Structure 1
Amino acid sequence: MSGHGFHVHGPHDHELEHAAQHEPKGMAGQLAVITAILATIGALFSYMGGATQAAAGLYKNDAAIKKTEASNQWNYYQAKSSKQNLAELAAVLVTSDEKRAKYAEEIDRYKKEKNEIKEKAEALEKESAEFDHQSAEQMHLHHRWAQATTALQISIALAAIALLTKKRWMEFATLAVGGVGVVLGALTWLHL
Protein backbone atom coordinates (compact mmCIF):
# COMPACT_ATOMS: atom_id res chain seq x y z
CA MET A 1 0.00 0.00 0.00
CA SER A 2 2.34 2.70 1.03
CA GLY A 3 6.07 2.81 0.90
CA HIS A 4 8.49 5.69 0.98
CA GLY A 5 5.99 8.49 0.20
CA PHE A 6 3.90 6.52 -2.25
CA HIS A 7 0.32 5.95 -1.09
CA VAL A 8 -2.41 3.92 -2.78
CA HIS A 9 -5.91 3.69 -1.41
CA GLY A 10 -8.97 1.74 -2.39
CA PRO A 11 -12.39 3.04 -3.48
CA HIS A 12 -13.75 2.88 0.06
CA ASP A 13 -10.95 5.02 1.44
CA HIS A 14 -11.56 7.56 -1.30
CA GLU A 15 -15.27 7.81 -0.40
CA LEU A 16 -14.47 8.32 3.29
CA GLU A 17 -12.02 11.10 2.49
CA HIS A 18 -14.51 12.73 0.13
CA ALA A 19 -17.30 12.61 2.73
CA ALA A 20 -15.00 14.03 5.38
CA GLN A 21 -13.98 16.90 3.12
CA HIS A 22 -17.44 17.77 1.76
CA GLU A 23 -19.89 16.92 4.55
CA PRO A 24 -20.39 19.75 7.03
CA LYS A 25 -18.56 18.99 10.23
CA GLY A 26 -20.75 17.14 12.70
CA MET A 27 -24.01 17.94 10.90
CA ALA A 28 -25.57 14.56 11.68
CA GLY A 29 -24.72 14.87 15.38
CA GLN A 30 -25.99 18.43 15.54
CA LEU A 31 -29.25 17.48 13.85
CA ALA A 32 -29.68 14.52 16.21
CA VAL A 33 -29.36 16.77 19.25
CA ILE A 34 -31.60 19.46 17.73
CA THR A 35 -34.22 16.86 16.84
CA ALA A 36 -34.16 15.37 20.34
CA ILE A 37 -34.58 18.80 21.94
CA LEU A 38 -37.39 19.76 19.57
CA ALA A 39 -39.16 16.43 20.11
CA THR A 40 -38.96 16.84 23.90
CA ILE A 41 -40.33 20.38 23.79
CA GLY A 42 -42.97 19.23 21.31
CA ALA A 43 -44.07 16.46 23.68
CA LEU A 44 -44.48 19.00 26.49
CA PHE A 45 -46.46 21.34 24.24
CA SER A 46 -48.62 18.46 23.06
CA TYR A 47 -49.37 17.52 26.68
CA MET A 48 -50.34 21.11 27.48
CA GLY A 49 -52.56 21.22 24.38
CA GLY A 50 -54.36 18.07 25.50
CA ALA A 51 -54.72 19.35 29.05
CA THR A 52 -56.25 22.64 27.91
CA GLN A 53 -58.62 20.83 25.56
CA ALA A 54 -59.77 18.57 28.41
CA ALA A 55 -60.21 21.58 30.71
CA ALA A 56 -62.27 23.34 28.04
CA GLY A 57 -64.55 20.32 27.81
CA LEU A 58 -64.99 20.19 31.58
CA TYR A 59 -65.81 23.90 31.76
CA LYS A 60 -68.30 23.52 28.90
CA ASN A 61 -69.90 20.60 30.76
CA ASP A 62 -70.16 22.70 33.95
CA ALA A 63 -71.73 25.51 31.92
CA ALA A 64 -74.36 23.12 30.54
CA ILE A 65 -75.14 21.80 34.03
CA LYS A 66 -75.57 25.34 35.40
CA LYS A 67 -77.72 26.28 32.39
CA THR A 68 -79.96 23.28 33.06
CA GLU A 69 -80.22 24.20 36.75
CA ALA A 70 -81.13 27.77 35.77
CA SER A 71 -83.76 26.45 33.35
CA ASN A 72 -85.23 24.35 36.15
CA GLN A 73 -85.41 27.44 38.35
CA TRP A 74 -87.15 29.43 35.61
CA ASN A 75 -89.69 26.60 35.24
CA TYR A 76 -90.24 26.70 38.99
CA TYR A 77 -90.63 30.50 38.75
CA GLN A 78 -93.24 30.02 36.02
CA ALA A 79 -95.15 27.52 38.16
CA LYS A 80 -95.20 30.00 41.04
CA SER A 81 -96.43 32.70 38.63
CA SER A 82 -99.29 30.44 37.55
CA LYS A 83 -100.22 29.75 41.16
CA GLN A 84 -100.06 33.47 41.92
CA ASN A 85 -102.33 34.19 38.96
CA LEU A 86 -104.83 31.61 40.17
CA ALA A 87 -104.74 33.10 43.67
CA GLU A 88 -105.33 36.58 42.22
CA LEU A 89 -108.28 35.27 40.20
CA ALA A 90 -109.68 33.51 43.25
CA ALA A 91 -109.33 36.69 45.33
CA VAL A 92 -111.47 38.52 42.78
CA LEU A 93 -114.09 35.78 42.51
CA VAL A 94 -114.68 34.98 46.19
CA THR A 95 -117.29 36.90 48.11
CA SER A 96 -116.01 36.29 51.63
CA ASP A 97 -113.55 38.81 53.05
CA GLU A 98 -111.99 36.02 55.06
CA LYS A 99 -111.17 33.99 51.93
CA ARG A 100 -110.08 37.12 50.09
CA ALA A 101 -107.54 37.82 52.88
CA LYS A 102 -106.31 34.22 52.67
CA TYR A 103 -105.72 34.58 48.92
CA ALA A 104 -104.01 37.94 49.43
CA GLU A 105 -101.54 36.20 51.79
CA GLU A 106 -100.92 33.52 49.18
CA ILE A 107 -100.34 36.18 46.52
CA ASP A 108 -97.75 37.89 48.76
CA ARG A 109 -96.09 34.54 49.52
CA TYR A 110 -95.87 33.67 45.80
CA LYS A 111 -94.37 37.09 45.01
CA LYS A 112 -91.72 36.59 47.68
CA GLU A 113 -90.96 33.03 46.53
CA LYS A 114 -90.75 34.16 42.88
CA ASN A 115 -88.20 36.84 43.77
CA GLU A 116 -86.01 34.27 45.56
CA ILE A 117 -86.32 31.84 42.65
CA LYS A 118 -85.53 34.60 40.14
CA GLU A 119 -82.36 35.58 42.03
CA LYS A 120 -81.23 31.94 42.14
CA ALA A 121 -81.94 31.44 38.42
CA GLU A 122 -80.04 34.60 37.48
CA ALA A 123 -77.08 33.54 39.65
CA LEU A 124 -77.02 30.13 37.93
CA GLU A 125 -77.10 31.78 34.50
CA LYS A 126 -74.19 33.97 35.54
CA GLU A 127 -72.22 30.90 36.67
CA SER A 128 -73.02 29.22 33.35
CA ALA A 129 -71.73 32.25 31.44
CA GLU A 130 -68.52 32.25 33.51
CA PHE A 131 -67.93 28.55 32.75
CA ASP A 132 -68.56 29.23 29.05
CA HIS A 133 -65.98 32.03 29.17
CA GLN A 134 -63.42 29.78 30.88
CA SER A 135 -64.07 27.09 28.28
CA ALA A 136 -63.47 29.56 25.45
CA GLU A 137 -60.21 30.71 27.07
CA GLN A 138 -59.00 27.11 27.39
CA MET A 139 -59.86 26.38 23.75
CA HIS A 140 -57.90 29.46 22.69
CA LEU A 141 -54.90 28.17 24.64
CA HIS A 142 -55.40 24.72 23.14
CA HIS A 143 -55.20 26.17 19.62
CA ARG A 144 -52.05 28.09 20.51
CA TRP A 145 -50.41 24.95 21.95
CA ALA A 146 -51.41 23.10 18.77
CA GLN A 147 -49.79 25.80 16.62
CA ALA A 148 -46.57 25.61 18.64
CA THR A 149 -46.55 21.82 18.43
CA THR A 150 -47.14 21.91 14.68
CA ALA A 151 -44.22 24.29 14.16
CA LEU A 152 -41.97 21.94 16.13
CA GLN A 153 -43.14 18.95 14.09
CA ILE A 154 -42.38 20.83 10.88
CA SER A 155 -38.92 21.70 12.18
CA ILE A 156 -38.26 18.03 12.97
CA ALA A 157 -39.27 17.14 9.40
CA LEU A 158 -36.90 19.83 8.11
CA ALA A 159 -34.13 18.30 10.22
CA ALA A 160 -34.69 14.96 8.52
CA ILE A 161 -34.56 16.65 5.11
CA ALA A 162 -31.39 18.52 6.11
CA LEU A 163 -29.79 15.26 7.17
CA LEU A 164 -30.71 13.53 3.91
CA THR A 165 -29.71 16.40 1.63
CA LYS A 166 -26.75 17.52 3.75
CA LYS A 167 -27.73 21.12 3.12
CA ARG A 168 -26.60 23.48 5.84
CA TRP A 169 -29.31 26.02 4.98
CA MET A 170 -31.91 23.36 5.78
CA GLU A 171 -30.38 23.03 9.23
CA PHE A 172 -30.82 26.77 9.68
CA ALA A 173 -34.43 26.47 8.47
CA THR A 174 -34.90 23.73 11.08
CA LEU A 175 -33.65 26.06 13.79
CA ALA A 176 -35.76 28.98 12.54
CA VAL A 177 -39.04 27.05 12.41
CA GLY A 178 -38.21 25.36 15.73
CA GLY A 179 -37.58 28.81 17.21
CA VAL A 180 -41.00 29.96 16.00
CA GLY A 181 -42.57 26.94 17.72
CA VAL A 182 -40.73 27.62 20.98
CA VAL A 183 -41.74 31.30 20.90
CA LEU A 184 -45.38 30.38 20.26
CA GLY A 185 -45.25 27.94 23.19
CA ALA A 186 -43.67 30.54 25.48
CA LEU A 187 -46.32 33.12 24.54
CA THR A 188 -49.03 30.56 25.23
CA TRP A 189 -47.47 29.67 28.57
CA LEU A 190 -47.55 33.38 29.48
CA HIS A 191 -51.17 33.67 28.22
CA LEU A 192 -50.20 36.34 25.69
Structure 2
Amino acid sequence: MSICLLLQEMPFLSFTEFASLTHNPSLYPAKRIHFLTKRHSLQHHLFSPPIRASITAAMEPDQSGRALITSSSPPIKLLFVEMGVGYDQHGQDVTAAAMRACRDAISSNSIPAFRRGSIPGVSFEQMKLQIKLGVPHSLQQTLDIESVKSVFPYGEIVSFEVVDGGLICSSGVYVEEMGDKNDDCYIVNAAVYVGY
Protein backbone atom coordinates (compact mmCIF):
# COMPACT_ATOMS: atom_id res chain seq x y z
CA MET A 1 0.00 0.00 0.00
CA SER A 2 1.45 3.36 -0.94
CA ILE A 3 2.08 6.24 1.46
CA CYS A 4 -0.38 8.32 -0.60
CA LEU A 5 -3.22 5.96 0.28
CA LEU A 6 -2.16 6.02 3.90
CA LEU A 7 -2.29 9.81 3.86
CA GLN A 8 -5.72 9.75 2.27
CA GLU A 9 -6.95 7.60 5.14
CA MET A 10 -5.50 10.03 7.71
CA PRO A 11 -5.71 13.52 6.18
CA PHE A 12 -5.78 15.45 9.46
CA LEU A 13 -2.69 14.10 11.20
CA SER A 14 0.24 16.34 11.99
CA PHE A 15 3.69 15.14 10.95
CA THR A 16 4.46 14.29 14.60
CA GLU A 17 1.32 12.16 14.88
CA PHE A 18 2.05 10.60 11.49
CA ALA A 19 5.60 9.70 12.55
CA SER A 20 4.43 8.25 15.87
CA LEU A 21 2.13 5.69 14.22
CA THR A 22 4.76 2.98 14.34
CA HIS A 23 5.52 3.71 18.01
CA ASN A 24 2.02 4.03 19.47
CA PRO A 25 -0.63 2.44 17.22
CA SER A 26 -3.23 2.41 20.01
CA LEU A 27 -3.80 6.14 19.39
CA TYR A 28 -5.47 5.45 16.04
CA PRO A 29 -8.35 3.23 14.88
CA ALA A 30 -7.37 -0.30 13.91
CA LYS A 31 -8.68 0.12 10.38
CA ARG A 32 -6.05 2.79 9.74
CA ILE A 33 -3.22 0.84 11.31
CA HIS A 34 -3.58 -2.23 9.12
CA PHE A 35 -1.68 -0.37 6.39
CA LEU A 36 1.34 -0.32 8.68
CA THR A 37 1.27 -4.00 9.53
CA LYS A 38 1.50 -5.12 5.91
CA ARG A 39 4.86 -5.67 4.22
CA HIS A 40 5.02 -2.02 3.06
CA SER A 41 5.21 -0.40 6.48
CA LEU A 42 5.56 3.31 7.04
CA GLN A 43 8.59 2.72 9.21
CA HIS A 44 10.30 0.79 6.42
CA HIS A 45 9.72 3.55 3.85
CA LEU A 46 10.18 6.76 5.80
CA PHE A 47 11.97 6.14 9.06
CA SER A 48 14.46 3.38 8.40
CA PRO A 49 17.84 3.69 10.17
CA PRO A 50 19.83 4.37 6.95
CA ILE A 51 17.61 7.35 6.14
CA ARG A 52 17.84 8.72 9.68
CA ALA A 53 21.61 8.19 9.63
CA SER A 54 22.08 9.99 6.31
CA ILE A 55 19.98 12.95 7.45
CA THR A 56 21.98 13.16 10.67
CA ALA A 57 25.25 12.92 8.79
CA ALA A 58 24.25 15.61 6.30
CA MET A 59 22.97 18.22 8.73
CA GLU A 60 24.24 18.44 12.30
CA PRO A 61 23.23 21.23 14.70
CA ASP A 62 25.89 23.34 16.34
CA GLN A 63 25.67 24.63 19.92
CA SER A 64 23.24 27.39 18.95
CA GLY A 65 20.91 24.94 17.19
CA ARG A 66 21.79 26.12 13.68
CA ALA A 67 22.43 23.47 11.04
CA LEU A 68 25.89 22.77 9.72
CA ILE A 69 26.57 21.14 6.37
CA THR A 70 29.08 18.39 6.90
CA SER A 71 31.51 17.20 4.29
CA SER A 72 35.11 16.10 4.04
CA SER A 73 36.08 19.75 4.49
CA PRO A 74 35.40 21.67 7.71
CA PRO A 75 31.66 22.36 8.08
CA ILE A 76 30.23 25.82 7.55
CA LYS A 77 27.49 27.62 9.43
CA LEU A 78 24.91 27.65 6.68
CA LEU A 79 23.02 30.86 5.94
CA PHE A 80 21.27 30.03 2.68
CA VAL A 81 21.36 27.91 -0.47
CA GLU A 82 21.29 29.28 -4.02
CA MET A 83 20.21 26.99 -6.86
CA GLY A 84 20.59 27.32 -10.60
CA VAL A 85 20.41 25.58 -13.97
CA GLY A 86 22.73 26.06 -16.93
CA TYR A 87 22.48 24.93 -20.54
CA ASP A 88 24.84 24.59 -23.47
CA GLN A 89 22.71 24.15 -26.58
CA HIS A 90 25.49 24.53 -29.14
CA GLY A 91 29.07 23.32 -29.02
CA GLN A 92 28.51 20.56 -26.45
CA ASP A 93 30.62 22.19 -23.69
CA VAL A 94 29.67 20.94 -20.22
CA THR A 95 31.94 23.53 -18.57
CA ALA A 96 29.96 26.33 -20.22
CA ALA A 97 26.72 24.76 -18.95
CA ALA A 98 28.16 24.44 -15.42
CA MET A 99 29.35 28.06 -15.40
CA ARG A 100 25.90 29.21 -16.49
CA ALA A 101 24.30 27.09 -13.75
CA CYS A 102 26.50 28.75 -11.12
CA ARG A 103 25.84 32.24 -12.52
CA ASP A 104 22.13 31.44 -12.49
CA ALA A 105 22.39 30.42 -8.83
CA ILE A 106 24.14 33.61 -7.68
CA SER A 107 22.99 36.27 -10.16
CA SER A 108 19.68 37.20 -8.51
CA ASN A 109 21.02 37.44 -4.96
CA SER A 110 22.78 40.15 -2.97
CA ILE A 111 24.56 39.45 0.30
CA PRO A 112 24.97 42.78 2.12
CA ALA A 113 25.11 41.10 5.55
CA PHE A 114 28.74 40.09 5.12
CA ARG A 115 29.98 43.53 4.01
CA ARG A 116 27.90 45.45 6.55
CA GLY A 117 28.89 43.31 9.51
CA SER A 118 25.29 42.29 10.17
CA ILE A 119 26.42 38.95 11.60
CA PRO A 120 28.13 39.68 14.93
CA GLY A 121 31.76 38.62 14.95
CA VAL A 122 31.79 37.67 11.24
CA SER A 123 33.70 39.69 8.66
CA PHE A 124 33.39 39.68 4.88
CA GLU A 125 36.60 37.64 4.59
CA GLN A 126 34.97 34.74 6.48
CA MET A 127 32.33 34.03 3.82
CA LYS A 128 32.54 30.39 2.73
CA LEU A 129 30.97 28.51 -0.18
CA GLN A 130 30.25 24.86 -0.84
CA ILE A 131 29.48 24.07 -4.47
CA LYS A 132 27.58 20.99 -5.61
CA LEU A 133 26.99 20.32 -9.31
CA GLY A 134 24.76 17.74 -10.96
CA VAL A 135 26.53 16.80 -14.19
CA PRO A 136 25.75 13.91 -16.57
CA HIS A 137 28.08 11.05 -15.61
CA SER A 138 29.59 10.64 -19.09
CA LEU A 139 30.65 14.31 -19.14
CA GLN A 140 32.20 14.68 -15.69
CA GLN A 141 35.77 13.98 -16.82
CA THR A 142 35.66 16.90 -19.28
CA LEU A 143 34.46 19.45 -16.70
CA ASP A 144 36.99 22.24 -16.06
CA ILE A 145 36.48 22.84 -12.32
CA GLU A 146 38.85 25.83 -12.13
CA SER A 147 36.86 27.64 -14.82
CA VAL A 148 33.63 26.97 -12.92
CA LYS A 149 35.19 28.28 -9.68
CA SER A 150 36.10 31.52 -11.47
CA VAL A 151 32.38 32.38 -11.65
CA PHE A 152 32.31 33.24 -7.93
CA PRO A 153 33.50 36.82 -7.33
CA TYR A 154 34.16 36.36 -3.61
CA GLY A 155 33.91 33.83 -0.80
CA GLU A 156 36.29 30.98 -0.03
CA ILE A 157 35.25 27.77 -1.80
CA VAL A 158 35.78 25.13 0.89
CA SER A 159 34.33 22.20 -1.06
CA PHE A 160 33.42 21.45 -4.66
CA GLU A 161 31.40 18.31 -5.37
CA VAL A 162 30.32 16.88 -8.71
CA VAL A 163 27.57 14.24 -8.65
CA ASP A 164 25.57 12.41 -11.28
CA GLY A 165 22.78 14.69 -12.43
CA GLY A 166 21.83 17.15 -15.10
CA LEU A 167 20.73 15.95 -18.52
CA ILE A 168 21.82 15.34 -22.08
CA CYS A 169 18.93 15.91 -24.48
CA SER A 170 18.39 16.95 -28.06
CA SER A 171 18.30 20.68 -28.78
CA GLY A 172 16.30 19.79 -31.89
CA VAL A 173 18.81 21.35 -34.25
CA TYR A 174 22.41 20.79 -35.39
CA VAL A 175 24.18 24.03 -36.33
CA GLU A 176 27.70 23.36 -37.58
CA GLU A 177 28.51 27.09 -37.77
CA MET A 178 28.03 27.33 -33.98
CA GLY A 179 30.49 24.52 -33.27
CA ASP A 180 27.95 21.73 -32.95
CA LYS A 181 29.27 18.18 -33.21
CA ASN A 182 25.69 16.86 -32.94
CA ASP A 183 22.31 18.13 -31.68
CA ASP A 184 23.02 17.40 -27.99
CA CYS A 185 22.13 19.98 -25.35
CA TYR A 186 23.96 19.71 -22.01
CA ILE A 187 22.15 20.71 -18.81
CA VAL A 188 23.84 21.13 -15.41
CA ASN A 189 22.28 21.82 -12.00
CA ALA A 190 24.05 23.82 -9.31
CA ALA A 191 23.55 24.25 -5.55
CA VAL A 192 25.65 26.89 -3.82
CA TYR A 193 25.75 26.73 -0.02
CA VAL A 194 26.68 30.08 1.54
CA GLY A 195 27.83 30.46 5.11
CA TYR A 196 30.80 31.26 7.29
TM-score (norm 2): 0.21
Specify which structure has the bigger relative contact order, considering alpha-carbon pairs within 8 angstroms and separated by 6 or more residues.
1
Between Structure 1 and Structure 2, the one with more strand by share is: 2
Q: TM-score, normalised by structure 1?
A: 0.21
Of Structure 1 and Structure 2, the greater helix share is in 1
